[in-house]
C-alpha cells in the first residue's frame, strides 16, 4: 500500500526533512505479503482482535462467512502496540532492494546524482525518513520531524515566533524549557507569561487582552516535576475561540503518543524528548515534533534544514528500534509506578501522581490520556531528608531524565530544574525537598525494597513492628508537620468517645450485574443493571475503649484507630445535610484523604486500604454532619458473599452495607418499623439517604464512579442508566420499586425473579485499559464503532421496556425471557467486536450454549476476562443447572446462581425473641441478635448466605 504516493504533499526533494503521513490510507493493515515488502513489515499481517472472534450473527447471515470475516478483520486498523512494532513505510523510494528486516542505517553525508530524493543528510536521510514516517503513524499526525534533542525540538518550534510575540506557559515546567524562554526574552524580544495551567480560565485574560500579542501557548501535562494536569482539550478550545492565530504547543514527553495524543485534542504542535520513552534506554539524544498543519510543517522543515539539527542516521536507527517496544515498556513502567505511588502514599508522604485517586487533576487526566505514566514525585517535608533518601538509594540510579527502562531518582531543584532561579522556584511553589522518581521495568518488589531501605537509612520512616513477613513502618514527620497534627489533637481532645445510638446493627446489600450496555455506557449509551442475590454483610457493634475498628476477613485485614488520633479538624464543618446526605457532586476532600492515608499500617493491600479509607471517611463525615461531640466507639466487621473485584459490584455492596450500618447505628435513620415487626418497611427516602452516603464512599474508593452500582445496591431492582455526555442530560431510572411502594416492596420489574447464572472466569482484567481501548477505537474507527454503539442502544432500549413490563401469563413470560436471551447474544457479539472479549469467556459461552443446556450468555462488565452472565429460563430444571455448573467448574470456573432484580439493602430489626446470642454485648438498648457468630466471620461463599438467611428479622429495601 502506497500511502505516501496517495497523499498530496508527498515526500519530495523540495521538502525532504519531514515525512508527510496519510492516516486515512495507512491506518489499516498493509496489503498482502509480497516481495516488495518494506523493512519490518509483519510476517503475519492479520493480527486478530483481542478476542479473535467475530459476531456469530454477522458471519452466519452471510453467504460467504469466511470472506466476510476475513474482510472485517482486515478492515480493522492495527492497535497501538502493533503499529509501534511494525515499521511500514510504503513509499517506493524507501523500499530496500534486499528486503532487509530492519531499516538500514544510511551512514552517508551526501547522495550522488541530481534530482533524487536525497542530496545531503542535513536536508534529509532515508533512515530518518523512515523514523519520521513511523512517528507520524503512531502519533496519528500528518507530519513528523526528528531532531537532535527535545530542547532542539523546542528551539525549532520557537523559531516560528517573531520578535514582539508573546508566549503563555505554565508555572510548573521543565527547567530547560524555562531557560530557553529566558534566552528568548533577552535575545529575541519574545516575552512569556507564566500562569496556572491547571485552571484553563487563568489563560483567558491574556488571550482576550488586545494589547497582548499572544502567538503561542506552551503546555505540559502532566507537568514536570509536580505532575499537575492541564486540560489540553479545554485550553486548545479557549485558544481557538479567543486567539485563533496562536499555536498551542505541547511537550508530551511524560506521556508519549501511547498515553496521550494532543493533536487529537485540538492542539497544533506536539514535541517529545525522544531521549526518554520513545527510545527507552538512555542510549541516545533525540527530539521529535509532530503537527497536522502543512504551513506549520513547512516552517519547521525550513528551520531544521537551515540550522542542521536533523537527527543523525545512526540515532534515527536506534530511536526507530526503541519505538517498537514503546507500549510494552510503558505498560510495565506504569504498572510499577502505580504500586510505588500507592506505597509512598500509604506511608503518608505527599505524592504527586495522576494514578492516585486523590490526585486533584485525575478526572481531567483520565479524559485526555489513557494512563498515568511512569513519573511521580513526592515531598518529605525536609530538604536534608530528601537528600539522604536519594543518596541512600542503590537500585534507583541518581540521574536526570526519565523514560529509561531503569528506575531513576532525582531532586529536581538540584538537577533537572536547577537552571531555574531559586527565588523563581519558590515563587512558583516548587518544593525544594521534592524527589522525582522515574520508574523502570524492574521487579516492583525490588524497587520498593530499595526505596524502603533508603527511607529507613535516611530516617524518613521507622519500624514499629518487625513481626510478620514485612515490617510495619511509620513515617517520621519533620518538626513542622507535628505542629499541624498537634493542633488537630488538641482540638479533638475536648471530646470524649461516646456510644452509638444502637448498640448492634446488622445490614446487608446486594451486588449487581450489568445486563446490557457495558462499555457503550461510557459513551452515552443506556446501560441496564440489576441487583443480584449475592450480598455483602456488615455488623456494627458498640465498644467502650475510645476506638473505632474495621475488620475485613475476606481481605485478611483488620485495624483499629484511637478516635483521638483521627484528623477531626478537617471535617469540623458538616459537609452535608443529615436529611439528604452528601450532594451528588460532592468531591471527597483530597486533604482529608491524604491525612487518612497516614492511618494505615497495611499499605500493601490496596483493596483493603481503599475500603478502610472509605470507612474512615464516611464514619468521620457522619460524625461531623451530626455535629455530635461524642464520636461513638464502634467495631465494624464486613463480610463479602460476592467475589471481590470480579465486576459484580462488591465495592458498592460494601459501601451500601457500611453506610446503612453507620446511619442506623448512629441514630440518623430510625430502625424500620410497621404496625408489627413483620410489616416493617424501609422507605424510599431512607434508601436514598443510604445511597447518597454510599456514593461518597464509592468516590473515595474509585475516584469518579458513575453511581449505578451503589444505586442498584441501595434500591435493589434494576436500573437504566445513561451518563451525561456532550451536553445531553444523564439518566438513572429505577426499573423496580417507586416512591410510595416501599423501596423494594413491589415487583414492578419483570427482572425481579429472573434467574441468571454468573460465571467467574477468574481471568484478571484491567478495566481502565479495556475502557481506554474502546475509546481509542471509537476515535480511530468511528465508522465501525458508532454503529455498534447505536445497535447496543437499541438493545438496551428493548431490554428496558421488557424489564419494566410485567408479563400477564407464563407464556408471555417465556417469550419475554426468550427475547432477553436473543438480546444477550446480540450484545455479546457487539462487545466482541469492540475488542473486549476473551477466550475464557468464549469457553463459558460454548459450554452454556451447548446441548443439552443451550443457554444465552454474554460477558458482563469490563470483559477481557472477568464474569459472564447466562439467562436461565423458568423451565430450566435444577438438575440441568447443577450439571451445567459442574461442567463449568470442571473448566476451572466459579459459578453463582442468582436472580436479578431482587431487593436492595437490608437491616435486621431487633426483636425481643430473636436468634441465639453467643457473645456478650456491651450494655445498650436495641441490638440485633447475631446467631453463631463464628459462622458469620468464617464461612465462605454460599455458606455465608445460608448463615444470613438464618438471622431473623431482615427488612429489605
Ligand X SMILES: N[C@@H](CCSC[C@H](N)C(=O)O)C(=O)O
Residue span binding ligand X (CB under 6 A) among the ranges 135-143, 344-352, 395-403, 766-774: 395-403
The overall longest dimension of the chain from CA atoms, in Å, is 103
Q: Which residue is nearest to ligand X (CB)?
A: 416
Q: Which of 25, 401, 560, 791 binds ligand X (CB under 6 A)?
A: 401
> Contact region for ligand X (CB under 6 A) — 2-10, 360-368, 399-407, 696-704?
399-407
CA distances from 182 to 157, 269, 289 (A): 15, 21, 22
**What whole-number distance in Å separates Cα of residue 154 and Cα of residue 808?**
71
Closest to 662 in 3D by CA, of 692, 703, 701: 692
Per-residue x/- track, 712-731, ligand X (CB under 6 A): --------------------
Query: Which of the following is catalytic: 106, 174, 258, 619?
Result: 174
State whether residue 628 is helix, strand or coil.
coil
Q: Is 805 in the site for ligand X (CB under 6 A)?
A: no
Task: Name which of 11 and 276 has its Cβ closer to ligand X.
Answer: 276
* Nearer to ligand X (CB atom), residue 401 or residue 558: 401
Q: Which is nearer to ligand X, 127 or 410 (CB)?
A: 410
Q: Which is nearer to ligand X, 334 or 711 (CB)?
A: 334
Burial (CB < 10 A; 0-12, 13-18, 19+), residue 92, is exposed
Contact 516, 795 (CB under 8 A): yes
Smallest distance from ligand X to CB 264, Å:
24
Sole binder of ligand X in the list 192, 416, 651, 711 (CB under 6 A): 416
Cell of 503: 448498640
Min. distance of Cβ 297 from ligand X in angstroms? 25
Of residues 72, 400, 747, 804, which one binds ligand X by CB under 6 A?
Answer: 400
Task: List, in order, residues 6 or more apart from 218 with CB less than 8 Å away.
Answer: 167, 168, 169, 170, 173, 177, 181, 192, 249, 250, 251
Closest distance of CB 226 from ligand X, Å: 12
* DSSP three-state, residue 426: helix
For the range 300-305, what are the long-range contacts, defined as Cβ-Cβ under 8 Å and sequence gap of 24 or more?
300/17, 300/18, 300/143, 300/145, 300/156, 300/157, 300/160, 300/269, 301/15, 301/17, 301/18, 301/145, 303/156, 303/159, 303/160, 304/17, 304/18, 304/145, 304/147, 304/156, 305/16, 305/17, 305/122, 305/123
Decide whether 178 or 706 has the Cβ nearer to ligand X.
Answer: 178
- 678 CB contacts (<8 Å, ≥6 apart)? none
**Residue closer to ligand X, measured from CB, 180 or 346:** 180
- List the catalytic residue out of 76, 142, 261, 276: 276
- The active-site residue out of 40, 165, 172, 251 is 251
Instruction: Give dist(CA 322, CA 325) in Å, integer.
Output: 6
User: Toward ligand X, which CB reaches closer, 386 or 508?
Assistant: 386
Residue 943 CB contacts under 8 Å (≥ 6 apart), including other chains: 935
- If one asks whether residue 510 binds ligand X (CB under 6 A), the answer comes out as no
- The mark string for 302-341 relative to ligand X (x by CB under 6 A, - otherwise) is ----------------------------------------
Q: Least Å distance between CB 434 and ligand X?
A: 12
| Residue environment code for 558-596, b if the CB has 16+ CB neighbours within 10 A, otherwise e | ebebebbebbbbbbeeebbeeeebbeeeeebbeebbbbb
Q: Is 258 a catalytic residue?
A: no
CB of 432 to ligand X, least distance (A): 16
Nearer to ligand X by Cβ, of 419 and 558: the residue is 419
Distance CA 411, CA 388 (A): 11
Could you tell me the smallest distance in angstroms from the CB atom of residue 29 to ligand X? 37
Which member of 74, 95, 122, 933 is catalytic? 122
224 binds ligand X (CB under 6 A): yes
CB 139 → ligand X: shortest distance, Å?
Answer: 20
Helices 590-597 and 606-626: crossing angle, nearest 10°? 120
In the complex, least distance from residue 227 CB atom to ligand X, rounded to whole angstroms: 12
Is residue 174 within the footprint of ligand X (CB under 6 A)?
Answer: yes
122 as an active site residue: the answer is yes
Single out the residue of 603, 604, 635, 598 nearest to residue 619, CA to CA. 635
Asked if residue 406 binds ligand X (CB under 6 A), the reply is: no
CA 885, 887, 891, 892 torsion-angle sign: positive
- Segment interacting with ligand X, rule: CB under 6 A, options 359-367, 400-408, 646-654, 767-775: 400-408
Peptide bond before 778: cis, by omega within 30 degrees of 0? no
**Span near ligand X by CB under 6 A; candidates 396-404, 600-608, 822-830, 925-933:** 396-404
Of 412, 455, 451, 410, nearest to 432 by C-alpha is 412
Please name the helix (run of DSSP H) or strand (run of DSSP E) that holds residue 137, with its range, or none: helix 126-139
Least distance from C-beta 201 to ligand X, angstroms? Answer: 28
Neighbours of 321 (CB within 10 A): 18
Nearer to ligand X, 176 or 262 (CB): 176
Using the contact rule CB under 6 A, the part of the chain among 398-406, 441-449, 459-467, 851-859 near ligand X is 398-406
Q: Per rule CB under 6 A, is residue 93 in the interface with ligand X?
A: no
Q: Which is nearer to ligand X, 273 or 748 (CB)?
A: 273
How many binding residues for ligand X (CB under 6 A)? 9
Peptide bond into 673 cis (omega under 30): no
Q: What residues between 269 and 288 interact with ligand X by CB under 6 A?
A: 273
Q: Per CB under 6 A, does 221 bind ligand X?
A: no
Helix axes 782-804, 767-780, angle to 10 degrees: 120
Residue 419 interacting with ligand X (CB under 6 A): yes
Say if residue 601 is exposed, middle or buried (CB neighbours under 10 Å; 0-12, 13-18, 19+).
middle
- Residue 275 Cβ, how far from ligand X at the closest point, in Å? 8
Identify whether 251 is a catalytic site residue: yes
Query: Which helix H or strand E contains 804, and what residues bound it?
Result: helix 782-804
For ligand X, the closer of residues 176 and 906 by Cβ is: 176
CB of 149 to ligand X, least distance (A): 9
205/193 Cα distance (integer angstroms) = 11
Q: Does 176 bind ligand X (CB under 6 A)?
A: yes
* Candidate ranges 158-166, 297-305, 397-405, 572-580; the one touching ligand X (CB under 6 A): 397-405
Cα 323-327-328 angle, rounded to 5 deg: 100
Which three cell numbers, joined as nine digits, stand for 498? 461516646
Look-up of cell digits 455483602? 536
**What is the Cα–Cα distance from 449 to 451, expressed in whole angstroms?**
5
Closer Cβ to ligand X, 192 or 895, answer by number: 192
Q: Which is nearer to ligand X, 402 or 600 (CB)?
A: 402
Query: CB of 861 within 8 A of CB of 511?
Result: no
Least Å distance, CB 260 to ligand X, is 17
What's 310's DSSP letter? B
In the complex, the smallest distance separating the C-beta of residue 438 from ligand X, rounded to whole angstroms, is 8
What are the catalytic residues? 122, 174, 251, 276
Residues found near ligand X in the complex (CB under 6 A): 174, 176, 224, 273, 400-402, 416, 419
Amino acid at each position: 500500500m502506497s500511502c505516501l504516493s496517495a497523499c498530496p504533499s508527498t515526500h519530495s526533494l523540495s521538502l525532504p526533512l519531514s515525512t508527510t503521513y496519510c492516516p486515512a490510507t495507512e491506518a489499516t493493515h498493509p496489503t498482502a505479503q509480497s516481495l516488495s515488502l518494506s523493512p519490518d513489515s509483519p510476517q503475519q499481517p492479520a493480527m486478530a482482535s483481542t478476542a479473535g472472534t467475530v459476531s456469530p450473527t454477522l458471519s452466519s447471515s452471510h453467504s460467504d462467512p469466511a470472506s466476510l470475516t476475513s474482510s472485517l478483520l482486515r478492515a480493522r486498523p492495527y492497535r497501538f502496540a502493533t503499529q509501534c512494532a511494525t515499521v511500514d513505510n510504503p513509499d517506493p523510494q524507501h523500499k530496500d532492494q534486499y528486503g532487509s528486516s530492519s531499516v538500514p542505517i544510511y551512514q552517508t553525508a551526501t547522495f550522488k546524482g541530481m534530482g533524487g530524493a536525497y542530496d545531503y543528510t542535513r536536508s534529509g536521510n532515508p533512515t530518518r525518513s523512515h523514523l519520521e514516517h513511523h512517528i507520524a503513524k503512531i502519533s496519528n499526525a500528518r507530519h513528523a520531524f526528528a531532531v537532535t534533542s527535545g530542547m532542539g525540538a523546542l528551539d525549532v518550534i520557537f523559531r516560528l515566533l517573531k520578535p514582539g510575540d508573546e508566549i503563555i506557559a505554565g508555572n510548573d515546567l521543565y527547567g530547560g524549557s524555562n531557560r530557553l524562554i529566558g534566552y528568548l526574552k533577552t535575545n529575541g524580544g519574545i516575552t512569556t507569561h507564566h500562569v496556572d495551567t491547571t485552571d484553563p480560565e487563568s489563560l483567558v485574560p491574556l488571550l482576550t487582552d488586545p494589547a497582548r500579542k499572544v502567538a503561542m501557548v506552551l503546555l505540559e501535562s502532566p507537568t514536570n516535576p509536580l505532575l499537575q494536569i492541564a486540560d489540553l482539550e479545554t485550553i486548545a478550545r479557549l485558544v481557538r475561540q479567543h486567539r485563533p492565530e496562536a499555536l498551542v504547543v505541547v511537550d508530551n514527553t511524560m506521556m508519549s503518543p501511547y498515553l496521550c495524543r494532543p493533536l487529537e485534542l485540538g492542539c497544533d504542535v506536539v514535541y517529545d524528548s525522544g531521549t526518554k520513552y520513545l527510545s527507552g534506554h538512555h542510549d541516545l539524544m533525540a527530539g521529535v515534533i509532530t503537527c497536522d498543519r502543512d504551513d506549520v510543517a513547512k516552517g519547521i522543515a525550513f528551520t531544521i534544514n537551515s540550522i542542521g539539527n536533523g537527527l543523525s542516521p545512526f540515532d534515527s536507527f536506534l530511536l526507530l528500534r526503541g519505538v517498537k517496544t514503546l507500549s510494552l515498556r510503558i505498560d510495565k513502567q506504569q504498572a510499577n509506578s502505580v504500586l510505588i505511588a500507592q506505597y509512598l502514599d500509604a506511608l503518608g508522604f505527599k505524592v504527586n501522581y495522576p494514578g492516585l485517586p486523590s490526585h486533584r487533576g485525575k478526572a481531567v487526566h483520565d479524559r485526555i490520556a489513557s494512563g498515568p505514566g511512569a513519573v511521580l514525585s513526592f515531598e518529605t517535608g525536609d530538604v536534608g531528608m530528601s537528600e539522604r533518601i536519594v543518596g541512600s538509594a542503590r537500585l534507583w540510579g541518581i540521574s536526570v531524565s526519565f523514560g529509561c527502562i531503569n528506575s531513576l531518582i532525582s531532586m529536581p531543584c538540584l538537577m533537572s530544574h536547577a537552571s531555574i532561579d531559586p527565588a523563581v522556584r519558590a515563587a512558583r511553589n516548587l518544593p525544594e525537598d521534592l524527589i522525582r522518581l522515574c520508574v523502570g521495568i524492574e521487579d516492583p518488589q525490588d524497587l520498593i525494597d530499595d526505596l524502603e531501605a533508603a527511607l529507613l537509612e535516611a530516617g524518613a520512616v521507622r519500624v514499629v513492628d518487625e513481626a510478620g513477613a514485612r515490617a510495619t513502618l511509620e513515617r517520621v514527620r519533620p518538626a513542622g508537620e507535628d505542629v499541624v497534627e498537634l493542633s488537630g489533637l488538641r482540638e479533638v481532645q475536648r471530646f470524649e468517645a461516646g456510644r452509638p445510638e444502637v448498640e448492634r446493627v446488622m445490614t446487608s446489600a446486594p451486588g449487581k450485574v450489568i445486563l446490557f450496555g457495558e462499555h457503550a455506557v461510557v459513551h452515552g449509551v443506556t446501560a441496564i443493571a440489576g441487583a443480584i442475590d449475592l450480598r455483602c454483610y456488615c455488623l456494627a457493634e458498640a465498644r467502650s475503649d475510645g476506638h473505632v475498628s474495621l475488620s475485613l476477613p475476606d481481605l485478611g485485614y483488620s485495624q483499629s484507630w484511637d478516635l483521638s488520633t483521627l484528623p477531626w479538624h478537617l471535617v469540623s464543618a458538616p459537609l452535608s445535610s443529615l436529611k439528604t446526605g452528601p450532594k451528588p457532586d460532592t468531591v471527597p476532600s483530597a486533604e482529608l484523604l491524604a491525612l487518612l492515608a497516614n492511618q494505615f499500617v497495611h499499605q500493601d493491600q490496596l483493596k483493603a486500604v481503599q475500603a478502610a479509607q472509605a470507612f474512615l471517611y464516611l464514619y468521620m463525615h457522619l460524625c461531623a454532619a451530626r455535629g455530635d461531640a461524642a464520636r461513638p466507639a464502634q467495631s465494624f466487621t464486613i463480610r463479602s458473599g460476592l467475589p471481590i473485584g470480579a465486576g459484580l459490584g462488591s465495592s458498592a455492596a460494601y459501601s451500601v452495607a457500611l453506610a446503612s450500618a453507620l446511619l442506623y447505628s448512629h441514630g440518623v435513620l430510625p430502625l424500620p418499623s410497621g404496625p408489627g415487626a413483620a410489616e416493617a418497611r424501609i422507605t424510599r427516602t431512607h434508601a436514598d439517604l443510604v445511597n447518597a452516603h454510599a456514593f461518597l464512599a464509592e468516590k473515595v474508593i474509585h475516584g469518579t464512579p458513575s453511581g449505578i452500582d451503589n444505586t442498584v445496591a441501595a434500591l435493589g431492582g434494576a436500573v437504566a442508566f445513561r451518563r451525561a455526555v456532550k451536553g445531553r442530560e444523564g439518566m438513572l431510572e429505577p426499573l423496580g420499586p417507586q416512591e410510595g411502594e416501599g423501596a423494594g416492596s413491589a415487583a414492578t420489574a419483570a427482572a425481579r425473579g429472573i434467574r441468571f447464572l454468573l460465571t467467574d472466569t477468574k481471568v484478571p482484567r484491567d478495566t481502565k485499559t479495556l475502557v481506554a481501548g474502546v475509546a481509542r477505537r471509537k476515535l480511530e474507527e468511528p465508522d465501525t464503532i458508532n454503529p455498534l454503539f447505536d445497535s447496543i442502544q437499541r438493545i438496551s432500549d428493548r431490554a428496558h421496556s421488557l424489564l419494566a413490563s410485567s408479563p400477564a401469563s407464563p407464556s408471555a413470560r417465556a417469550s419475554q425471557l426468550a427475547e432477553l436471551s436473543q438480546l444477550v447474544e446480540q450484545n455479546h457479539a457487539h462487545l466482541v467486536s469492540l475488542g473486549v472479549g476473551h477466550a475464557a469467556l468464549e469457553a463459558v459461552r460454548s459450554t452454556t450454549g451447548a446441548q443439552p443446556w443451550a443457554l444465552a450468555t454474554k460477558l458482563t462488565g469490563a470483559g477481557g476476562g472477568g464474569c459472564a452472565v447466562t439467562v436461565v429460563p423458568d423451565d430450566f430444571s435444577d438438575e440441568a443447572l447443577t450439571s451445567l455448573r459442574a461442567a463449568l467448574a470442571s473448566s476451572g470456573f466459579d459459578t453463582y446462581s442468582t436472580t436479578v432484580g431482587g431487593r436492595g439493602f437490608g437491616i435486621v430489626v431487633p426483636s425481643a425473641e430473636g436468634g441465639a446470642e453467643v457473645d456478650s454485648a456491651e450494655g445498650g438498648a436495641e441490638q440485633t441478635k447475631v446467631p453463631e457468630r463464628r459462622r458469620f466471620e468464617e464461612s465462605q461463599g454460599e455458606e455465608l448466605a445460608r448463615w444470613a438467611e438464618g438471622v431473623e428479622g431482615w427488612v429489605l429495601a
